[in-house]
Amino acid sequence: MNKHLEISPEVKSALENGKPVVALESTIISHGMPYPQNVETALLVEDTIRQEGAVPATIAVIGGRLKAGLTKEEIEYLGKKGTAVTKASRRDLPVLVAQKRDGATTVATTMIIAHLAGIRIFATGGVGGVHRGAETTMDISADLEELSRTPVMVVCAGAKSILDLGLTLEYLETKGVPVIGYQTSELPAFYTRVSGYKVDYRIDTPEDLAAAFNAQQEMGLKSGMLVTNPIPEEWSMDPAYINSAIDQAVEEARQKGIHGKETTPFLLAKVKNLTGGDSLKANIQLVLNNARLAARTARYLISL
Ligand code: PSU
Ligand code: MN
């Protein structure tokens, strides 16, 4: 086992006994939602995964240790510290580990640590992507690069239109990352079930998701797989309403010169304020929905 990795006793025993395990990220806790909803959601997501018969492994860097499986206290700690914790993508890991610091893991780093621990599937809300205006800013999330090189299945609710969805799909195509729609052939746009863009393949059951991922592994392709799971109908938001909030947020970020890793957290917080908190409610429900699908798929993955 990697010397920097620390697997919690519950996760370790599940992995050793061939039980299904689902990884979870921690940037969504520290930077993606406000306290205390962030901690409540993180714990609820863990419970949901347990109810579906799998073991949750929330991932973070704590005191320079790469942790797979956090205690309630550790989740509470990251949630309270919020944006004061370093948002840790691939490039942040060396210094955080060497200096024994804390880091909340993005999709990219959660994939890295999950893979080190032997966890094949990971549930989250949204992934990073190609930002609008990237043709001049070059703001492209390291999540996309990670999906091309680390063999973990990422279950998300699609990409929200703070990103350029068309360019995000082009980038994933170039990098050879399969984009799967769960029970849909349209790419879901996080808060809404529709985006106007098509996914590469529609797959309708957790068993078939597991089979596709397994085939990718058997061929030694090494890349990840992006599963996009639409927000449940009853929680989906009106596209015109949410997109106008997003447009306003993107424009304000541009005027204020927000850039780099601050962009995504800024936009999420802004959209939440502009929708009077409605976007947060939708966000929580879609994460729970992704956790359920990931847990069900994990149960098939272990039998393959
Ligand atoms: N999108 C969301 N919620 C989030 C994030 C993205 O709807 O919390 C977080 C995830 O951790 C993702 C990261 O990996 O933001 C991407 O940040 P960046 O665009 O700076 O790579
Ligand atoms: Mn970025």
Task: Find the 16 Cα to ligand 1 centroid distance in Å.
Answer: 31
25 labelled catalytic: yes
**Start-to-end Cα distance in the chain:** 23
Q: Which atom of ligand 1 is nearest to the CA of 142?
A: 21
Task: Find the 200 Cα to ligand 1 centroid distance in Å.
Answer: 22
**Quick one: pLDDT band at residue 43, thresholds 50, 70, 90?**
very high
The pLDDT tens digits of the residues spanning 177-201 come to 999 999 999 999 999 999 999 999 9
Does 261 sit in the ligand 1 pocket, CB within 6 Å? yes
- pLDDT for 161 equals 85
Does 179 sit in the ligand 1 pocket, CB within 6 Å? no
Average pLDDT over residues 287-294: 98
Q: How does the average pLDDT of the chain come out, rounded?
A: 97
Residue type, 145: E
The CA-based angle 126-130-136, given to 5 degrees, is 150
Distance CA 108, CA 92 (A): 11
What pTM was estimated for this model as a whole?
0.98
**Quick one: pLDDT band at residue 103, thresholds 50, 70, 90?**
very high
Q: State phi, psi for 57 to the nearest 5 degrees.
A: -130, 90
Distance CA 117, CA 43 (A): 21
DSSP β-ladder status, 65-68 and 5-7: parallel
Domain 5-301 -> CATH class: alpha beta
Helix or strand run (H / E) with residue 98: helix 93-98
**Quick one: pLDDT band at residue 215, thresholds 50, 70, 90?**
very high
Helix or strand run (H / E) with residue 59: strand 55-62
Does 90 sit in the ligand 1 pocket, CB within 6 Å? no
Average pLDDT over residues 201-221: 97
- pLDDT for 65 equals 98
- pLDDT for 304 equals 84
Domain ranges of the chain: 5-301
Does 129 sit in the ligand 1 pocket, CB within 6 Å? no
**Quick one: pLDDT band at residue 290, thresholds 50, 70, 90?**
very high
